[in-house]
Structure 1
Amino acid sequence: MNNLSKKNLGLISLMLFSLFFGAGNLIFPPFLAQSAGSATWVAMAGFFITAVGFPVLGVIAVAKSGGLKALANRVNPIFASIFTVLIYLSIGPCLGIPRAGSLPFEMAVAPFLPEGMISVTLARLIYTLIFFSLAYWICLTPSKLVDRMGKFLTPTLLTLISCVFLASVLKPLGGYGVASGEYVISPLVKGFLDGYLTMDTIAALNFGIVISLAIKSKGVKEEKYVVSNSIKAGLIAGGLLIIIYSMLAHLGATSGGKFGATENGAQTLTNVMTYIFGQPGVILLAAIFTVACLTTCVGLITSCSEYFRTLNSKVSYKAWVRILSVSSMVLANMGLTKILSVSVPVLNAIYPIAIMLIVLAMTNNLFGGSSVVYSFTILFTSVVSIVDALNQAGISISFMVNAFSKLPLYSQGLGWIVPAILGACIGISYKFIKEHFTKKLVTEGF
């Protein structure tokens, strides 16, 4: 079989959507729109680039390249080993999975615990124990992921969010608020950077293997057809993401106009849900958060377990699922604040590298897949992004920060773009010069 049936393509597309759509994806669009106000759709255009465009391209790039390790190997084998492990650790047990387990509790459960009845620490432990036990059970049989997520979890999530949006149309909150902060000056760039927080471009480099396995489990074996079906699933999932993000952005923008600023997107959604549904809206919000986080968590545990099994064949896939589920549950009990304090610098270091790796993979044929182009581009990108991330974490290399601060767009968090382009130009020039002189030497008989 070369192509998936429409039913299976739909299920895999829904599965990919649910892998991407966690609680972070739920809270960032309304929070962005609340702050952007009248500039919401300009900001969302930037958000769509990094929160939808690059994640979809990431899935396609990994499928076309035969896996993340193979793609990273085009830069350098040492880089491939370090970068791949770093990606899986950051998006997996060290950051992404604990965040997915902690976020729904902190945002939708903790604020509404009866005072004095149970401590927040104990409640979090009970919640994460149940949450990760369910995730563990779903991950044990990856061949059933498509059915469990595509048929049940994702439709449930989409139905819940759509009901909220339709209810907001029937009981409107009002008009959009006024833009504030950086959204006044450069809403497009701010939206672009906000897309980093979803972590989906990094996650896409992991989920590529999950989608490939899912497609193969449906009978498509030949690699080129696995790639073509991955592209179709990615485009459908991307379209769904844009629709849901737009719904959430509208809710956030109207909430900002009615209630004013809040500290985070969860509070924004809580205001909306309470206004539309009253107190029962809080329960509905908790359900939406939990389902959104569970689907992402399952995808991350599955992809990381598949990868770590390749590093050590003595430890089985199921053993890795067990290890990651337990360790992530432990880290989730550190609390969301500590997890998020680490996430921003890490994301700012990794995200630009991931973006350029995807761009290079998608334009690979234009420069003949030269490793020199990959190497120079990633080197120039990583130096700026890592120094910037260290500076944000309080580890300042002053002379480098001072030098990089003169780069275009540096103050807006995009200082890596010009060096990335420069690195690509140097790599292409080097390749051209080398080929020219090699051809000349051959022609002259040397």
Structure 2
Amino acid sequence: MTFAFFLGAGNIIFPPLAGFLAGEHTMSAMFGFLITAVGLPLIGIIAVAVAGGGWKGLTRDLPASVATLMAVLIFIIIGPAFAAPRAGLVAYEMGFKPFLGDVGQFELTIFSIIFFAVAMFFSLSQGKLIDTIGKLLTPALFAALAILAIAVVVNPQGDIVAAQGAYVDQAFTTGFLEGYNTMDTFAALMFGMLIVDVIRKKGITDQAKTCQYLIYAGVIAAAGLAFVYVSLFYLGATATGVAAGATNGGAILSAYVMALFGPAGQIILSTIIVLACLTTVIGLVSACSDYFSTLTKITYRQWVVILSIACAVVANVGLNQLIAISVPVLFALYPVAIALIALTFLRRFMPNPALAYRVVLGVSLVFALFDAAKVAGVDVSALKVLPLFNYGMAWLLPTVVALVAVRFAGESKGDSSHA
């Protein structure tokens, strides 16, 4: 179930394009991508387990209002604002549109309504998520992906050529930043809570056992994701013969599958895409509804309906516009999520955890906003003196310096490290 939650639209679109552009530098680009798209989400799930299985545990040293605001922002991004509608749009663009020929806004609207209604139906039965997704949808999804992976290795559709664009000189960091686009580090923090709920509904209440099962789920999901990414990177790198001039991962994937399997390939690909996007949307809608129902008087089931409708409305914006808006937001908030995960593991070494969390998260946010401004097209060239600014990672060094500094900061009067 955890694997299927993570494996959504971005996870299938971004690796083929990265492999295609990285060419001969595919290995280093792929390694960078695997760190942010597999390593960080896995560490995120483990952080949720270590912190006691919830957002409150992760943010216990922050003021309650700040912790709630962070959670609400992340849930809005991975829920109705970006990730869930994007999954619906990709399901439409790659799973439905190829069979229709000439289509317009009307077809997209009808598809959005049906797709998010199905997601809503599955999300409403919260206790049955493992049974529905883990036992039914995930095996079908994984089988289709395994067939594609084997075919790519057995019969590559072109030679690996020279790298293009940013991948020529900065393959590793470009791959690393591409991994942000999957949004999976955010998702890990949020899915972690949802998985804890599901584990508890199975009758496991012991904290140590819950932590153990959560880590097992994270490791299994990470192994599955790594398998998918490696095969999709290789697919992109060997797509020169069939996808010359392609500008996005969806087009590369479609052309490749058509070359390998003919018209039947389009059905295989559509099945993969629609299942991957559907399972992710179910996970996102469930996680958001679960959290929002704890903040308001509106019930879980009512939130499922509200969020499903909101996703269907936002999905009608269009894929390119949605990605253009979401990238600066990701650059602003991703470093904060990474810093929060790091603090979870380093908390016991901090003499004053409350101070540490405020300083480190504050520093990571300020410097991440510079990176976000650059990506959004704002002229921030005056800041290029900052280390790693040209790589889109101006936040990294200041955040590490802040982490080291708070390690030696004075203890609070009540020494909260034992709280």
User: Which of 97, 101, 108 matches 1:110?
Assistant: 97
Do residues 97 (structure 1) and 84 (structure 2) align? yes
Match of 1:418 in 2: 397
2:357 to 367, 374, 392: 374
Q: Alignment partner for residue 322 of structure 1, among 305, 313, 316?
A: 305
Secondary structure of 1:57's match?
Answer: helix
Q: Which residue of 2 aligns with 1:229?
A: 213
Partner of 1:40: 26
Contact 1:174 / 1:254 at 8 angstroms: preserved in 2?
yes
Counterparts of 2:222 and 2:322, CA distance in 1: 27
Q: Distance in 1 between matches of 2:229 and 2:2?
A: 15
- How far residue 322 of structure 1 moved from its aligned partner, in angstroms, is 0.4
- 1:106 shift after superposition: 2.1
The yes-or-no answer on 1:275 pairing with 2:259 is: yes
Which residue of 115, 135, 144 maps to 1:151?
A: 135
Of residues 238, 263, 276, the one that matches 1:292 is 276
**Is the contact made by 2:21 and 2:167 (CA closer than 8 Å) also made in structure 1?**
yes
Q: CA deviation at 1:168?
A: 2.8
Distance 1:369 1:43, change over 3 A: farther
- In the TM superposition, what is the alpha-carbon distance from 1:202 to its structure 2 partner? 0.7
Q: 1:431 aligns with which of 410, 413, 418?
A: 410
How is 1:332-347 mapped onto 2 (pairs within 5 angstroms)?
332-347=315-330
Q: How many residues align?
A: 413
SS in 2 for 1:39: helix
Q: State, as a whole percentage, how many aligned pairs show the same letter.
A: 39
1:71 corresponds to which residue? 58
Comparing 316-325 with 234-243, greater Cα deviation is found at 234-243
- Which amino acid is the alignment partner of residue 164 of structure 1? L
Q: Relative to structure 1, is the Cα distance of residues 156 and 331 closer, same or farther in structure 2, using a 3 angstrom cutoff?
A: same
The CA deviation at 1:305 is 0.2
1:173: which partner in 2? 157
Alpha-carbon shift at residue 70 of structure 1 (Å): 3.4
Q: In the alignment, what sits opposite 1:12? A: none
For the residues of structure 2 that align with 1:299 and 1:113, how far apart are their CA atoms? Answer: 29
Match of 1:28 among 6, 14, 25: 14
Contact 2:351 2:409 in 1 (8 A): no
Once residues 375 and 155 of structure 2 are traced to their aligned partners in structure 1, the CA distance between those partners, rounded to angstroms, is 42
TM-score of the pair, normalised by structure 1:
0.88
Q: Secondary structure at the match of 1:92?
A: helix
Instruction: Report the RMSD for the aligned CA atoms in angstroms.
Output: 1.8
Q: Measure how far apart 1:174 and its partner are.
A: 3.5
Deviates more, 1:379-388 or 1:249-258: 249-258
Q: Which residue of 1 aligns with 2:376?
A: 393
Return 5+ residue gaps in structure 2 as ranges: none
2:120 equivalent to 1:141: no
Letter in 1 for 2:267: I
For 2:298, what is the secondary structure of its paired residue? coil
Matched, 1:84 2:71: yes
1:393 Cα offset (Å) = 2.6
Matched with 2:332 is 349
Q: In 2 relative to 1, CA 258–382 (structure 1 residues): closer, same or farther, beyond 3 Å?
A: same
Which residue pairs with 1:363 in the alignment? Answer: 346
SS in structure 2 opposite 1:93? helix
Distance in 2 (alpha carbons) for counterparts of 1:91 and 1:69: 19
* TM-score, with length taken from structure 2: 0.94
1:368–1:139 distance in 2 versus 1, CA, 3 Å: farther
Of the three residues 249, 252, 261, the one matched with 1:265 is 249
1-side partners of 2:374 and 2:158: how far apart? 41
| Structure 2 contact 349–407 (Cα < 8 Å) conserved | no
1:126 has 2:113 as partner? no
Kindly indicate whether residue 403 of structure 2 is the aligned counterpart of residue 405 of structure 1: no
Looking at structure 2, the residues matched to 372 and 333 of structure 1 have their Cα atoms a distance apart, in angstroms, of 43
Q: Distance in 2 between matches of 1:415 and 1:62?
A: 26
User: Aligned in 2, Cα 1:282/1:62: closer, same or farther, shift over 3 Å?
Assistant: same
Equivalent residue letter for 1:55: P
How many Å apart are 1:368 and its aligned residue? 5.2
The offset of 1:258, in angstroms, is 5.3
User: Which of 1 and 2 has greater Rg?
Assistant: 1
CA contact (8 A) 2:157 2:240 kept: no
**CA–CA separation in structure 2 for the residues paired with 1:279 and 1:423:** 55
Assess, with a 3 A threshold, how the Cα gap between structure 1 residues 423 and 83 changes in structure 2: closer, same or farther.
same
Matched to 1:63, the amino acid is A
Tell me by how many angstroms 1:376 deviates: 1.3
The alpha-carbon distance between structure 1 residues 212 and 389, as it changes in their structure 2 partners (threshold 3 A), is same
1:362 CA drift (Å): 2.0
Q: Which residue of 2 aligns with 1:443?
A: none
Letter in 2 for 1:320: W
For residues 161 and 134 of structure 2, what CA distance do their matches in structure 1 show? Answer: 37
> 1:188 corresponds to which letter in structure 2?
F
8 Å Cα contact 2:371-2:389 kept in structure 1? no
Look up the match of 1:62: 48
Cα offset, 1:332, TM superposition = 0.6
State the Cα deviation string for residues 311-352 of structure 1 (Å, max 9, x = none).
11x211100000001111111112112211211011001101
Describe the SS at the equivalent of 1:178.
coil
| Amino acid in the other structure paired with 2:341 | I
